[in-house]
Structure formats: C-alpha cells, structure tokens
Chains A and B, each alone.
Chain A
Amino acid sequence: MRTALVVGLVALGAACDVDRLGLSHRRNESGRPHSVVVGRPSDAISLDPARPTDNESAEVVAQVFETLVRYHPGTTNVEPALAVSWETDDSGAVWTFHLRDGVRFHDGSRFDADAVVFSFERQRDPAHPYHTGRFNYWENAFRNILRVEKLDPLTVRFYIATRYAPLLANMTMFPVSIVSPAAVARWGDGFAEHPVGTGPFMVERWDRGERIVLGRFAGYWGPPASLERLVFEVVPDARQRLIDLESGAIDLAVAILPEELQFVDLHPGLTLYRPPTNNVTYLAMNCLKPPFDDVRVRRAVNLAINKSPIVRLAYQGLAIPADGPLPPTQWGHLAGPSASRYAPDAARALLAEAVADGRLALDRTYTLYVPSTPRPYLPNPERVARVIQTNLSAVGIRTKTVMQPFEAHNADTEHGRHDLALAGWVGDNGDPDNYLYLLFDKDNTVPGLARNIAFYRDDTVSKLLRAAQTVEDRGAREALYADVQRRLAADAPWVPLAHSQVAIAATDDLDGIVVNASGHVVYTGLVRVAR
C-alpha cells in the first residue's frame, strides 16, 4: 500500500517532465549531426572507377576509391596516397611504387601489389579475364603504360613507353583507382553497383536515380572522415535544390544556376562557394589559314576582344577572365603573360599593317565556328560568339558564325575547317602538360584528330613541351612551361577567354568545405559546427 503510493508519486513527478519522454522536437536542431546530404542534378552512372566519364560518378568514386598518389586537397601538388614513395630509373621509363602497408579494402581483403596490378592490367591487357566492356579513359590518358608488374607484395613496377613526367599527375586520376580484385571477381560487371575500394567512405545503398548513401569506413588507414554518413541525393531542378537547402532537407547543393547566385548571396542562412575550376574557354585562330597565319593579325584579334562583358554577362558572373591557357589554380600558371588588354585602337593599327602587306583582306568574311550545345566551360556559346563578332567587326574583321551541335563542331574543328573557333578544355589530371601539350604541340595538329585546333606548329614550343615531359623536377618544369606560355603569348594562336566557375551552396553550419582540382568537394574534412 505504502509502496504503491510512493511509486505513484514518483511516476507523477516523472510524467510532469514531459520533455524527457522524448515528445519534444525542435525543427531547427539538425536531425543528423554526423551526416551530410548533398543535392545534385543527376545520379551517378557507374561506380566502377574504370568506366564512367561523368562528373556525378567521378565524385562518388573519389569518396569510395583511392589512387596511388593524389593531389593535396585544394591544390595540384601530388602527395602519397596508396603509394608511400616512388622512384624512376635513369631512363625515366621504369617507375617503382612502394605501397602503403596495412591498408584494407571495404570487404576486408588486403590492399597489395596484386590489387594494383589487377586494377591496371584489367584495363590494359585485352587478355585479362576481367577486361570486359569499355575503359573510357585508358586510351586517352594511360596508353603509354606498357606493363605493370609486382616485385613483392608491397612494390609494383610500371614500364612506360618513354620518359613521361606527367605520369604522376595521371596517377591521381580516378579511372586508375585501385579496386578490390576479390570484389570484381565476385560481382563481375555488377561491380559498378557494388564498388569496393579503400576510400574513407563505403557504399551502403544505391537507389538508382534517387540517392547514393555512403557510410564512413571504420577501417580506413588515414584519419577517418568526420562524417558518419554522406548522402548524394538527386534533385534535378535547380530551384528545388535551393528550396531543399533552405528547409534543411539537404545540406549542400551543387550546380547553382547563375541567376540564383544573388539569392544565395543575400540569404542569411546560406553560404556560396565559387571554387576555381580546372578549365579554359578560348577562341582558336587557325594558324594554317591566312590571315591568321600572320602573328600581327592574331595579336590584333587578342587586343580587339573585350572579355569583361563575356565574363560578366555571358557567364553571369560564374567565370574569371583568362589571361592564358592555364587556370590560375593550376601549378605552372604564369600570371598575365598575355595581358588581357582591351585595346581596339592598337588592334586596328596592327591590322592596318597587315592590310598594307596584303596579308589581310578586309572585304572577306571569316568563319567563326561555335558549338550550339552549352558546355560546362561555355554555358552560353551564342552570346559569347555575338560579343566576339561585334568586337571583331569593330576593328574591321567580318565574321559569320557556324553554329552546330557539339559533335559536329568538334569534327569540323579537328579537321581545321574553321578560321576561328570557340572551344574549351577541362583539365584531366592537374598537370600543365595536359593543357599545353595537347592544345599546342604540333603532334596534335593531325587533321581529323587535332586537339590543337589552332594548328599552331612551333618547333621550339614542341621541344620545350617534350623537355618538360621528361624532366621530373617541378621547378625545372615550371621554368619550361613559363617559357612556353611566354612564347604562346607572343605568338597568340588563341584568345584565352575565361575560366568558368561552379557554384556550390551550403548551409551555414557546414565547415571545412574544400574543393579539389577536379572541382569536387573533399568530403572527408566536412564538419558541422554549432550556430
């Protein structure tokens, strides 16, 4: 009787403290202190590192897998990842990588030389039992790797066709991430949906077209991610992404439209990030065709084009004016060798000289090839083309635009059918060679295959580029590339127009947002802070 009474009184006391019963809920408290939801326009296509070329897949692959070497977050400086050290022999054609010991894949299997050999050889060797389907990047970036072999469980050796300094930069690319051989053997082609790597996150769930849920990998060899869970939510509509961001349904939204920038900027609860990206947009002048074979004409075109309205209006603020082929975040970038000077009068003077020499006919109309499809580096091609046309006509060069879809545009420009062409390039691996060799070497002026669509052929530049490929020392390479850029500025085969930016919006309580050289957020360092 007494006990019952006392128990009753205690229960009454407890019941009065309603909040303790868990009935309370405050909306503003985040329901996920250790997880982050990222909203992005589309889903990944494949999570097998060797397959996809799309940004969304690459972004997830970069969380789940690791490469032998990587860029220090936010820079293009190579640092050890799955390899702790490496060296080349005197010929530069044999690279030896010493692997990190004690690393495990998400499935618990050991990371070792066999896994490295497997990851490369399945892409390289047509006789490899898992060489199935397409390996999109291999032919582009890795075809100079002749063979990969294991020396001992923690040492692998790469045989390269010739000395090739940018190899290390290529080794940071996601397609050569190291995959778990056991998992590939288990899933076969299904590995694309059941990826197993060594990265800080592992795939917990993938609802195709909706979301990918990553969980923190407890056995990660490095400092563990501060987030327990990372979710990539597909929110196709840009405005919906912002609304979700405001309401807290997602924490970070990528691909913010230029017209939304002001909104995010003025929103007190959101922060806008405009990380520099790894690309360039340019106007190529066909050096094989008169009058653009005359350096004075090319310089005149450079002086005639006003980049400010292009960057401010055509890119709606999501770009910076380019002063050369390399973006400012790329090592080797030489600040302002071709001062992006808008000087129509000087241009006219130069053109007058050319006219006097009979090199330029002012009554001719030149073709300006323009892709009709927007590209990440060229969101509004037509508008940019319009500014260029106006600027050129102001100095006396008449142009007509040839607008066609991207594929056709590429095919025509690769064959050199253009006088002028609008084009762009996205860096693959954070190495200057990836820009300068591909876009300016005479090797790449073969009609039909040309990447160098200015058809700029300069022996000195080619020699310098090759020298830079074969020198390991960063300082020496920087000096060589500086020389190349000064020569390019003088010879002016291009009008470098802009480096476009991406916009990422995040809620105020996210901290530690770092974007790597490929434009992806580095999620391992992301933390929530109290506001």
Chain B
Amino acid sequence: MSAFRAVLQVLTWPIRRVGRARLRTKLALSLSVAALLPMLIVALLASGVVLGNLERGLESDVERQLEVGLNLTLRSVERLGDDAVRLGSDQTLAAAIPRGEAVVGEVLASVAPHLPSSLVQVLGADGHPVASRVIGGDRARFAELAVDDRSPVVQAALSWAARVTLELSPSGVVVRAAAPVVDAALALTGVVVVSVPLDGDFADGIKGALGAEVLVGSLNAGVATSSVRDELGRRLSAVQVPTSVLRAVRERQRPIVSVDVAGREHAVAWTALVDDRGRALGLFAVALDRRPLLQAQRVAFRSLAVGAALALVFALLLAGVLARRVGQPIAKLHRGAVAIARGDLEQTLEVAEGDEIGDLSVAFQHMTSTLKENQQRLAARMREMVALHDAGRAMSSVIDLGQVSTKIVDSVARTFDVRLCALFLLPPGGGADEHRVTVAAARVRKTEADSTVAAPTPADAAALAPIAAQVARLRATLRVDDVSADVRRREPAAAAGVDGALMAVPLERKGLVVGVLVVGRGAAARPFIEADAHLLATFADQAAAAIENARLYEQVRDASEELEAKVRLRTAELTAINRELGRALSELRETQAQLVLSERMAGLGLLVAGVAHEINSPSAAIRGAVDAITAAVGAMAEPVRALAAAVDDASERETLFMVIEAYGKELAGRRMPTGAAVRRAARELRALLEPAVGPAATDLGQRLAEAGADEVMVNDLMARSPGARPTLAYLIEQSNLHRSAYVIGNAISRIQRIVGALKAYSHLDEEPTRVPADLHEGIETTLTLFAYALRDITVVRHFAQLPSVPIFVDELNQVWTNLIQNAVQALGGKGTITIETERVALSGPAPGPTRDGVTVRVIDDGPGIPAEIHGRIFEPFFTTKPKGEGTGLGLGIVSTIIAKHGGSLRCESIPGATRFEVWLPVEIAAAVPAVEPAAGPAVVPAVEPAVAGASG
C-alpha cells in the first residue's frame, strides 16, 4: 500500500509541481494541453485509420487479385479441357486415327491455330501413341510432358470420360486434359491429350490478363517461378517459398506475406492448386508491389509530424498571449485580496479592464467598503448584545416580581446611561388607566450634573405615570429628543427630574401590555438614537417575559397551596371509606365460609343419597334371604322326620344326612342354571323320578332342576336312600339354606365396604392434618361412593406408580368428588371418564428449581366447555348447572383446596375431551405459595368453541 502510494507520489509529481506554479504558467500549460491533446488523438486516430486502411486495402487487393487470378487459371485449365473435348469430337481426327500418324499430324496442324501453346498427343483406341505435336513455343518447354496409356487421364478417356487435371511431371506441375476421340455415333477411335506446364510462360499468360505479378510452382518442391522480370528482362524464377507459407497452403489457407521479389517488397497471396481428386499439388500466388503503400506511409508520417510541430508552436504562442492578458488583472486582484486578508480595508483597486475581470474589481471594491461598514455595525451590535445577554441572565435569575423589576431597571439604567429609569406595571388582566399604572421599580443616577433641574428620587418616577399609561394604551414606542420642548409631557417629566431626551416602550407579552419601561436623560445629555429604541424594545421583550414568569410563579405557588388542602381533606374521606370496606370484606368472608359449608353439605346430600341406595339393596337382599331361610327351615322338618323313620341304622342315617348336606352345599355353590337348562333338566329328572315317586315327579323334578341338581347326583342319592322323596326334598331345602346364607354374607360385605369408604372419605376418625397418603386410594374411595352415578359410565384408569403425597385427606377427597361429579354431569350420565396419574416435575409458581410432584387428570369425553365461559369456570358462584343442582362453588373450592396444598389446577377443553389436571407437590414447600383462587390456575382456551357444556 505504501509502495503504491510512493509510486503515485512520483507519478503525480509533475502535476503537483505545476499545481504550485503561478496561475499564468498553469493557464499557459493547460491551454496548450487542451489544444494539443485532441489534436494528437485525432492525428493518431487518423494516421492509424489511414495506414491501417492502406495496409488492409493492399491485403484485400492482393486477396481479390488472387481470387481473380485463380479463377483465370482455372478457367484456362477448363478451357484446355474444352479444347481436348472439342478435339476429341472432331470427326476428321476420329477418321484420321485409323489412317496413321501422318494423317493425324496433318489434322493436328490444321487445328493448331485454334489451340493454346501446348503439347497435343493422340493415342489409338487401344492406347498406343499415334501422333504428338508441340503447338506454339519451343520444344524444350514440353520436353518431359508426354504421357502414355498408363496415365489415369488416358485411362479415363479410353472409357469415354473427358478429364482435365493437374499432374506432377519431372519438370514440375502440368495441366493435363484428355478426351475420348469419338465419331458421330460416339464410337471411340482414340484419345487426345493436351498438356501445358505450369511455368513462367503460363504465369505470363495469367499476368497479361490479371495485370499483377503471378507466381506458380510445385508445392512439393517448394519452389515457384514468376512472371516478374528484372531490369535486364531476366525472369525471376526459382523463388524459394517460405515453409510457413507451404504449411499454410497445405492446410488450404490463403496466407499473405511480404516477400522481397527482385529487390522490391511485395505483398504476396498464396493458394494451393489441386488435382481432380482434391490433392494439393501446385502453388499459385499473386504479388502486389508494396512500394506505393510504403510511400504513402512515409508521406502520411511526414505530414503528421510537421503538422504536429506547427500546431505545438502555435498553441504555445497563443497560450502565452492569452495567459498574459488574463494573468495581469488577476494578479492585481490577487494583491488586493491578500491586503484585505491582512485586514487592510482601505485598500483600493484600479482595474480599467471592461471585461469580467474589470467587473470583478468593481465588485471587489464595493465588497470592501460594505465589509468595512458592516464591521463597524457589527461591533456596536456586539456591545448591545453583551448588555442584553447580561440583563437577560440577571432578570431570569430571580423569580420574585419585585426583584425582577429591580433587576430590569438596574440593567436598563446601566446600559443606556440615563438619569432616570422606571418600570411601570399594569395590573394583570390589562387596563391602562393612569391611576392603575404603578411604579414597580425605578432607578436614578444622582451624581450626574447634566441638567439644570434637581436630581430626582425614585419616588419622583410616579410622576411619569400619565406618559406610561399613554404608551401602554398606544402600544408604541415613544421617543422624544427634548421633553422640555413638548408641552404635554414637559411637566410630568420635569416632576420626575427629566428635562432632556425621553423614551418609553410598552412591555408586551402574548398580545397584552404588562408594563411600560421609561428612561429619561438630562438636558445636557445626547438624545436617544434609533438603535437605542431597538435595544430598549429588546429589553422590554425580555423584561416582559421575566415579569410574566414571576407572575406565573406566584399563581402556581397559590394553586399548589390550595391543592394540598384538598388532598388532606380527601385522605380523611378515604380512610373512612377504607374502614367501611374492611368491615364489608370480613362480612363477605363469613358469607363465603358459609357458602363453602353449604356446598359441602350439598355434596354430602348427594353422597348420602347414593350411600342410602347402596345400603338399601344389600339390606333388601338380606331380608329376602332371611325369609328364604325361615321357609327352608320350616320345610325341612318333614323330610328329616321321614328319613329318620326310614333309616334305622344311626351311622347309616348319619352318613346319608352328611351326603345330602354335602350335595346341598355343592348345589348352593353352583351357578344358577338358565331357564332353558332348567326346563331340560326338569324333563330328564321327571323321567328319572317317575318310577319312584309317581305323579310328584313333575313338581320334584322342576324344583331339583331349579336348584341345579343333575341326574348323577339324583341317581346317587336315590341309590343311597330308601325314600327318594324326602331325600330329594331335604336336598332342595339344604341348597336353599346355603344359598341364602351366601346372599346374606355378600350383602353384609357390600355394606361394610360402603361404610369403610364413607369412613375413609370423611376421615371421621382422624385429625384434620396433613398425612402422607396414596392418592389412588382417595380416588378409588370416591369412585366407590359414586358407583351408583357411574353405572352407565365407563371409568378408565391409567395409574402410574406414585409416591405418597402429604395431603389433607378429606379435603382432597372433596376435590376428586367435585371433579368426578363435574365429569358425570358433563357426560349426562353416559360416556367415558379417564383418570390418569403421572409423576411430573414442575417449576412451581415461584421462580426456582423444578419441584417433584404428581399429576392427576380427570378427562371426560363430553361436549366440552364453551370458549366464552372458559375463563370464568374457577370463579366462585359461577355455574352452568340448572338452579338447584349446584351452588357454583365447586371448582372454586377445588382450586382453593389445591392452592392450599401448593399445587396447581389446569383445565383444557375441546369437544370430546375436557381435561382437568391437578398437580400436587410431593414435598411441602417451606412457605406454601398462596394461589389466589380468583386469579386461579391457568386455563388453556379451547381450540374451538363447543356447542354446549356443563362443567364447573
């Protein structure tokens, strides 16, 4: 970077150097550059274009010439082919061939004038040579050109194909045309071959038509011969062709190179000559002399150089003169400006030019004088501004109206050097009555001896009140140069000790005159000038503002005192109201407690109804069973007696009774048979019994079947006992007895279970303290008590492994009761309640680490809670139940109880899934955080409003 900077420094040195030079030098330099640069560019462009065009012109010339030359060459080759074909179709030749060489020779001689300089050979139809003839030119030229029938062109002609092509011969490239010699019916009599070497003579021929030098040669040999001749007329042959040209030509390009031919530079364009199979054999080139081009180049350069030099000289001269004309006046201006910059404002300029520089000088002169004037005015203004600033600061530093007034008159008196300065104030609210205009402050300077009248005292200022009142009314500045000459104001002025100049300005604020400032001088002092009036007016503005501020301050002070008094009064009122409120609050709390109690009573009522039902059923069962036992015992006596009579042997009797009783017990334990089974068994048993008991078989069979007896049992008993009837009757009564005993036992356990649940629910036997308890137990107890209400509801339990949680058992049972009751009501008695428990760590309501806890969720698939009441379900007294079904305290109580446990309650509801989620901490926090019942647990709004719902 720094290296780059250094380089830049070096590079721009001349520019910077010039930058420091005199204006005249710069002007001269820039003018010459401005004139020369475009000229140089144009010159370079022009020479580039001209020379480039010349060069390109030459190239395109030689290219075009090459094209034309090539065309001419190929046309002459083609013509040679045509000549051969014409010869071939010459009937005299066709007729001559069979007649031998001499005749053919004659024919050839006769056609020679129509042929180019060439070697003509005639071969017979079998390929043997018949005759040959050199036409026009020396024999040496055609010495090595003869062909025989092995040549491809001859072979082609022998099969009627006329051909013209290039061939390589020992002496170089040769053009060979062959054609069949045919008679009128195209019958072949021989072949004619015309050959022409591509040599200097050929080149001359092309040159003659083209007008440019031509080179022809062999591509293999890399040597060309040309149509160029030196001064002695010798042909320039054996031109060595550059290998780069040979390479390019072999690639079928057309290179253009500069070649020195006979001591002169030529632009030479080259191309290949190909045979009829496309093989490049020969070279063809056209050369154009470059001399005219070089000459043109030299002329162009010379004229450009001379032109550039002349232009430079002219530009420099012109620049010099112009710079002089412009530079001198500017130098004068410069000198003047330098002098003014030094502070010499008396400097004058004498520039007589009538041009812009002259105008500039005049303007400069004017500017100097204006500058001087302004400088003086500025100095005076400066002094006043300082005074004004001081006065303003002094005035605004006090807020008391009296002090402000004093400050004002002090400042004015000091600034204006007056004998008397007085400030009159008008009462707030206006009114410029002479009697209401009062002196707020006055200042006199007693030491002065500028007047004949006695020096005034501040009290004398009051005499000026009429003048002040007038000024206030007129709202205009009053300026009197000599008040003693003013008839109307002389007397009051004199009374105030003023007999010279007098000035009074109104103090205006927001369109109102608040006061008047009056100053006066002795007769000997100078009168006030215009600027004094302006200054005094400015003072007046400041003074008016200061007075306004002072007055406002007074008003604010008064107002705030009033306000304080009002606040004191209102505070006392509020205290009284507060006390009232306190009373009302405690009343409310009492009412609330009563309501809670009544809610619990309502819940209890519901519970009792359920319990009563639960106990009623087993009681009825017991009653029925007792009746059955009584009947059975009564009915048993007769068969026992009969059996006892029938079996004599005591041990046998004992055994029989044991067997019957055992069977009876077994029957009682059996499941009650269905009706169909009873009918079938009754039929079978009747058949079995009929032989033994006769007509009684029907009744006995029916009863046995109802008791569940089967044939095996009956057969066994009939086999053991002499009397079938009493045995079987006894069996039936035994089974009835046992069955009733079962029923009673079952009923009693049901009653015991309910009583146990009630006991657990109410914890009647325990102190109301927090004890670690299993939550599932409480939930199960509640579900047991609600079994009646839940008979059409599926209860799904997803219970996790939970730790013991310290709880107030009966209060929490109230929670489960309420939640389950809600769910039951929401479901309208039918549906599914899912109860999930889970161990969950939560971050409590207070900030801090998460707390270990358990979650119980009661989920019903009822219609859900409508969104619009979602936020209110935890409010006390809020209910959606019909009147009489609930107090509306249910969920309010639930949330209070859970808050007491330091837990939280959430509710989410969408149609088909209303979920109440209770979280309880496993450990009791040091200070149980109070959860406001009203603010309540978070309620997540429903996703979509449900149509109806009954929860809370």
Chain A, residues 502-531, CB within 8 Å of chain B (1/0): the string is 000000100000000000000000000001
> Which secondary structure characterizes the binding site on chain A?
helix
Q: How far is the CB of A529 from chain B (nearest CB, A)?
A: 12
Q: Contact between B74 and A259 (Cβ–Cβ < 8 Å)?
A: no
Return the contact of B48 from the options A16, A308, A508 (Cβ within 8 A).
A16
Instruction: Given A11-B41, A531-B252, decide whether A24 and B182 contact each other with a Cβ distance below 8 A.
Output: no
CB-defined A-B contacts under 8 Å, sample of 9: A5-B33, A15-B45, A18-B52, A27-B60, A262-B81, A269-B271, A313-B162, A390-B184, A531-B253
Which residues of the other chain, A, contact B44 by a CB distance below 8 angstroms?
Answer: 12, 15-16
A23 to chain B, nearest CB (A): 6
Please name the residue on chain A nearest to B36 by beta carbon.
A8
Q: Which segment, of B239-247, B272-280, B355-363, B504-512, faces chain A?
A: B272-280
Verify if B859 is at the interface (C-beta below 8 Å from A): no
B767 smallest CB distance to A (angstroms):
91
Q: A2-B15, A12-B40, A268-B273 are in contact. List 6 more A-B contacts (CB 8 A).
A: A16-B48, A18-B52, A21-B45, A27-B60, A508-B252, A531-B252
Q: How far is the CA of A314 from the CA of B904 in the complex (A)?
A: 118
Residues of A within 8 A of B37 (CB): 8, 12
Contact A2 B71 (CB under 8 A): no
Q: With A24-B52, A28-B63, A313-B160 as given contacts, are A266 and B77 in contact (CB-CB < 8 Å)? A: yes
The verdict on B186 contacting chain A, using a C-beta distance below 8 Å, is yes
Within 8 A of B (CB), among A1-55: 1-2, 5, 8, 11-12, 15-16, 18-19, 21, 23-28
CA distance in complex: A268, B274 (Å)? 6
Given A312-B162, A313-B180, A391-B185, A12-B41 contact (CB < 8 Å) = yes
Q: Does A240 contact B (CB under 8 A)?
A: no
| Bound form: Cα–Cα A242–B508 in Å | 109
| Docked-complex contact A317 and B67, CB < 8 angstroms | no
| Size of the chain B interface, CB-CB below 8 angstroms | 53
| Residue from B12, B186, B276 in contact with A262 in the complex, judged by beta carbons closer than 8 Å | B276
Q: In the A-B complex, list the 9 residue pairs whose CB atoms are closest, starting with the nearest.
A: A390-B185, A312-B160, A18-B48, A309-B186, A8-B37, A309-B160, A312-B161, A268-B272, A263-B78
Q: Does A56 lie at the interface of the complex (its beta carbon under 8 Å from any beta carbon of B)?
A: no
Residues in B823-868 with C-beta less than 8 Å from chain A: none
Who on chain B is nearest to A307 by CB? B160
Within 8 A of B (CB), among A285-306: none
Residues of A close to B63: CB separation below 8 A: 27-28
* B residues in contact with A508, CB < 8 Å: 252
On chain A, the residues within 8 Å of B164 by CB distance are 262, 266
CA distance A21 to B186 in the complex (A): 64
Give B contacts to A, CB under 8 Å.
Answer: 12, 15, 19, 26, 30, 33, 37, 40-41, 44-45, 48-49, 52, 56, 60, 63-64, 67, 70-71, 74-75, 77-78, 81-82, 159-166, 180, 182, 184-188, 252-254, 271-276, 278, 280
Our count of residue pairs bridging A and B at CB distance below 8 angstroms stands at 119
Docked-complex contact A308 and B160, CB < 8 angstroms: yes
CB pair A262 B56 closer than 8 Å: no
A317-B252 contact, Cβ under 8 Å, with A8-B37, A15-B45, A386-B186: no
Given contacts A12-B40, A246-B67, A508-B252, contact A268 B165 (CB under 8 A): no
**What residue in chain A is nearest B253 (Cβ atoms)?**
A531
A353: interface (CB < 8 Å): no
The answer on a CB contact under 8 Å between B60 and A268 is no
* Residue A247 at the chain B interface, CB threshold 8 Å: yes
Question: A131: CB under 8 A from chain B?
Answer: no
Give the chain B neighbours of A316 by CB distance below 8 A.
162
If A28-B254, A391-B185 touch, does A308 touch B70 (CB 8 Å cutoff)? no
Is A1 a contact partner of B30 (Cβ separation < 8 A)? Answer: yes
Roughly how many angstroms separate A391 CA and B82 CA in the complex, as a whole number? 26
Interchain CA distance A11-B40 in the complex, whole Å: 11
Chain A positions within 8 Å of B186 at CB level: 309-310, 313-314, 383, 386-387, 390
B273: chain A residues at CB < 8 Å are 266, 268
In the complex, are the beta carbons of B15 and A266 less than 8 A apart? no
Are A267 and B70 touching (Cβ within 8 A)?
yes
Is A389 part of the contact surface with B, judged by Cβ < 8 Å? yes
Nearest residue, chain B, Cβ from A386: B185
Q: Is the CB of A265 within 8 A of B182?
A: no
Give complex CA distance A322, B26 in Å.
94
Least distance between A352 CB and chain B CB atoms (Å): 22
Q: Of B82, B186, B272, which is in contact with the most chain A CB atoms at under 10 Å from its CB?
A: B186
- Which A residues touch B77, using CB under 8 A? 262-263, 266
Chain A positions near chain B (C-beta within 8 angstroms): 1-2, 5, 8, 11-12, 15-16, 18-19, 21, 23-28, 243, 246-247, 259-260, 262-263, 265-269, 308-314, 316-317, 383, 386-387, 389-391, 394, 508, 531
Which residues of B have CB within 8 Å of A267?
70, 74, 274
CB contacts (< 8 Å) of A246 on chain B: these are 67, 71
- Residues in A with CB closer than 8 Å to B165 are 266
Within the complex, the shortest CB–CB distance from B426 to chain A, in Å, comes to 69
A26 to B52, CA, bound (A): 11
Chain A residue at minimal CB-CB distance from B186 = A309
CB proximity of A316 to chain B, nearest CB, Å: 8
Q: Which residue on chain B has the smallest CB distance to residue A12?
A: B41
- Chain B residues whose CB sits within 8 angstroms of the CB of A308 once the complex forms: 159-160
Residue of A nearest to B14 (CB): A5
Question: How distant is the Cα of A508 from the Cα of B254 in the complex, in angstroms?
Answer: 13
B488 CB to closest chain A CB (Å) equals 74
What residues of chain B lie closer than 8 Å to A263, measured between beta carbons? Answer: 74-75, 77-78
Chain B residues within 8 Å of A386, by CB: 184-186
- Complex Cα distance, B254 from A391, in Å, reads 50
* Nearest CB in chain A to that of B64: its residue: A27
Contacts of A28 in B (CB 8 A): 63, 254
* Residues of chain A lying within 8 A (CB to CB) of residue B160: 308-309, 311-313
* Residues of B with C-beta under 8 A to A19: 52
How many angstroms between the C-alpha atoms of A313 and B159 in the bound complex? 10
Q: Is the CB of B274 within 8 A of A266?
A: yes
Given the complex, which residues of A lie within 8 Å of B75, measured CB to CB? 263
Q: Is the CB of B185 within 8 A of A313?
A: no
Q: Give Cα A268 to B285, complex, Å.
A: 13
Name the residue on A nearest B30 (C-beta): A1
Interchain CA distance A101-B81 in the complex, whole Å: 57
B12, closest chain A residue (CB):
A2
Chain A residue at minimum C-beta to C-beta distance from B53: A23
The contact of A309 among B48, B182, B252, by CB within 8 Å, is B182
**What is the CA–CA distance of A394 and B185 in the complex, to the nearest angstrom?**
10
B160, B180, B182: most-surrounded residue (chain A CB, <10 A) = B160
Q: How far is the CB of B297 from chain A (nearest CB, A)?
A: 15
CA distance A269 to B270 in the complex (A): 12
- Select the residue from A259, A309, A387, A531 with max chain B CB neighbours within 10 A: A309
Task: With both chains docked as a complex, state the minimum distance between the C-beta of B56 and any C-beta of chain A, in angstroms.
Answer: 7
- Judge whether B159 and A266 touch: CB under 8 Å: no
CA separation between A8 and B52, bound complex, in Å?
A: 23
- The answer for the CA separation of A316 and B85 in the assembled complex, in Å, is 11
Question: For A394, what are the chain B residues with a Cβ–Cβ distance below 8 Å?
Answer: 185
A266 CA to B71 CA in the complex, in Å?
10
Residues of B within 8 A of A25 (CB): 56
Task: Tell me whether A266 and B45 are in contact (CB under 8 A).
Answer: no
The CA-CA distance from A406 to B48 in the complex, in Å, is: 65
A304 CB to closest chain B CB, in angstroms? 12
CA distance A188 to B64 in the complex (A): 49
Query: In the complex the two chains form, is A266's CB within 8 Å of B275's CB?
Result: yes
How far does the alpha carbon of A394 sit from the alpha carbon of B187 in the complex, in Å?
11
Q: How far is the CA of A392 from the CA of B487 in the complex (A)?
A: 164
Return chain B residues, CB-CB under 8 Å to A15: 41, 44-45, 48
User: Is the pair A24, B56 in contact by a Cβ cutoff of 8 Å?
Assistant: yes
- Please judge, given known A-B contacts A2-B12, A268-B271, whether A18 and B67 are in contact too, CB under 8 Å: no
Residue of A nearest to B187 (CB): A390
A387 to chain B, nearest CB (A): 5
Q: Which residue of A lies closest to B175 (CB)?
A: A266
User: In the complex the two chains form, is B78's CB within 8 Å of A269's CB?
Assistant: no
Q: List chain B residues, Cβ under 8 A from A262.
A: 77-78, 81, 163-164, 276
Tell me whether B252 and A269 are in contact (CB under 8 A).
yes
